[in-house]
A and B are shown apart, each in its own frame.
Chain A
Amino acid sequence: MTDSVPLDDLYQEIILDHFKNPRNVQKLSDEEVLIEEENPTCGDQIRVTAKVEEGCIVGIKYEAKGCAISTASASMMSEALMNKPVEDARVAIQNFTRTMKGEQEMSEDESGDLIALQGVKRYPLRIKCATMSWHALDHVLDKMSVEK
């Protein structure tokens, strides 16, 4: 296609794959949506719901409208945190957010596809795109723990 691979640090193959075929996406009815987040600056939008059984996340569904980075990040999150105990998921969310802010490194073996999002760090304006869905899920978990 092109002689040099453009933007390969930001739009890695795996990110484009998640963007083009996002996992666990589902149209959600308004009652199902637990949290809706929006970034008014770029219009990214995400609606998330999750299912927790016996302290373990057994389902994450979302509807996302946004850029490749935010869509891919939501998709990766839905895979990475599935079947995790809520506490572990919380830690993972915190770790991911800290990584995006450049406060810590991602460990290659643990992070799987997520490692591809490392490149986003170098584009300060895009960090929010990557973290939005994670924030949203964090809020979903807050909400569920209060409702219990």
Chain B
Amino acid sequence: MSCFNANTIRSDFPVLDQILYDGKPLAYLDNAATTQKPHHVIHAVQEYYEAYNSNVHRALHFLAERATVAYEETRKKVVSFIHANTERSIIYTRGTTESINLVAYSWGRKNIDEGDEIILSEMEHHSNLVPWQILAQEKKAKLCFIPVLEDGTLDLNAYTHLLSSKTKLVAITHMSNVLGTINPVQKMIDQAHQAGALVLLDGAQSVPHVSIDVSQLDVDFLAFSGHKMLGPTGIGILYGKEAILESMPPFHGGGEMIHKVELEQSTYTELPHKFEAGTPNIAGVIGFGEAIDYLEGVGMGAVQSYEQLLTQYALSKLEKISGLTIIGKALERGGAISFTCEGIHPHDLSQYLDREGVAIRGGHMCCQPLVRKFDSTALNRLSLYLYNMEQDIDQLIEALLKAKEFFKT
């Protein structure tokens, strides 16, 4: 824990140990899309299926008991990982997208009325934009957008002016998946609360990379995904303040979320199960618990400082390439770095890099409005995680130089 050893860490990830095409080692730099899984997580999922596969919270037999305990154990790990107070605040979902939709559907339909305002930012992922568009259209509410400045930070002055007594909710990303910007959320949450609004944080990119304290932030909702933090796909978290979740109507109806069911009506069970209808992603939850253990074992502080070093290394190398423009220059930033390369379309570039063993993203990264704002329709992005090393970046840079030569007009 004291000394961060990326080499040791890397050897925990079976996927990373492979050679592609004609002898190129894999440099996986698409971690903002999804991360790789350490064998601990893979084994935990396998063990569940091999040793105690069963439904949870229903049967009383041996397997069910063991599955239920493991399933609920992860909830405790989440509580401590994000510094929440109670398991009642932790709802299992399919991921960030479903978490945000849950809030828009349940809290939003109850609390948003005609003329109310919801503040978002121009850097939102489609998943923190489209659910609010749907809600606003239905309720005739208004969406207001905090502009993104040239350097990739939010215009906080504009934010102050957007806040008013009409503001019911501020829904913003903690860290941009395109620009890498880490937003000053503590201050923004305080300001929103002063205006009487609630705050939802999209933590899809922040929770995996920086340590989060929901109690200190006093944030009302936090959404994040397991697969972006070493866990399986199809499992995510909605954190909500207990009293707020308590006041919200259910999202999905069905088994697991009920107390007493009659033909005409039902009463609903307690938090958090009120929001967890149907058979959940049990293997995913168990794997996710293992992923949290892994990150805690390394230490989020160590993860963060290591990634900072690597990010600075990548930025300094990229800046030296002529014709390459980095999009997003915030000082407070994480390891998602977007760029354009003059004369090479992002899809041509990522295709070329792929053959050099380098996996990066090319496209709009689910942020069409933001990418458009930077006069583009598509970008390239590399994104780092704790198992990346300088050698991955060196491999990327070398491949980039080759691509420039290849597509040179």
| Interface residues, chain A, with chain B CB atoms under 8 Å away | 1-2, 4, 6-7, 10-11, 16, 19-21, 40-45, 66-69, 123, 125-126, 129
Chain A residues with Cβ below 8 Å from B346 are 42, 67
Partner of A11, one of B362, B364, B402, B406: B406
Question: Does B216 reach chain A (CB closer than 8 Å)?
Answer: no
- Of listed B345, B362, B376, residue having the most chain A CB within 10 A: B345
CB distance from A87 to the nearest CB of B (A): 34
B1-56 residues at the A interface, CB under 8 angstroms: 22
Closest to A67 in B: B345
| Interface residues, chain B, with chain A CB atoms under 8 Å away | 22, 345-348, 351-352, 355-356, 362-364, 368, 376-378, 402, 405-407, 409
Q: CB distance B376 to A6 under 8 Å?
A: no
Query: Could you tell me the dominant secondary structure of chain A's interface residues?
Result: loop
- Of listed A21, A66, A68, A129, residue having the most chain B CB within 10 A: A68
Q: CB distance B22 to A4 under 8 Å?
A: yes
Closest 6 CB pairs of A and B: A43-B377, A67-B345, A20-B409, A43-B378, A6-B355, A67-B348
Chain A residues with Cβ below 8 Å from B364 are 40-43
Chain B residues with Cβ below 8 Å from A20 are 409
- A131, B244: Cα distance in complex, Å: 51
Q: CB distance A126 to B409 under 8 Å?
A: no
Q: CB distance B351 to A123 under 8 Å?
A: yes
- A40, B363: Cα distance in complex, Å: 9
Chain A residues with Cβ below 8 Å from B362 are 42
Q: CB distance B407 to A68 under 8 Å?
A: yes
Chain B residues with Cβ below 8 Å from A10 are 351
Chain B residues with Cβ below 8 Å from A7 are 351-352, 355
Chain B residues with Cβ below 8 Å from A68 are 345, 348, 407
Q: List 22 A-B contacts (CB under 8 A).
A: A4-B22, A6-B402, A7-B355, A10-B351, A11-B348, A11-B406, A16-B406, A19-B407, A40-B364, A40-B377, A42-B346, A42-B363, A42-B364, A42-B378, A43-B364, A43-B376, A44-B345, A66-B345, A67-B345, A67-B346, A68-B345, A126-B351
Chain B residues with Cβ below 8 Å from A11 are 348, 352, 406
CB distance from A39 to the nearest CB of B (A): 9
Chain B residues with Cβ below 8 Å from A1 are 402, 405-406
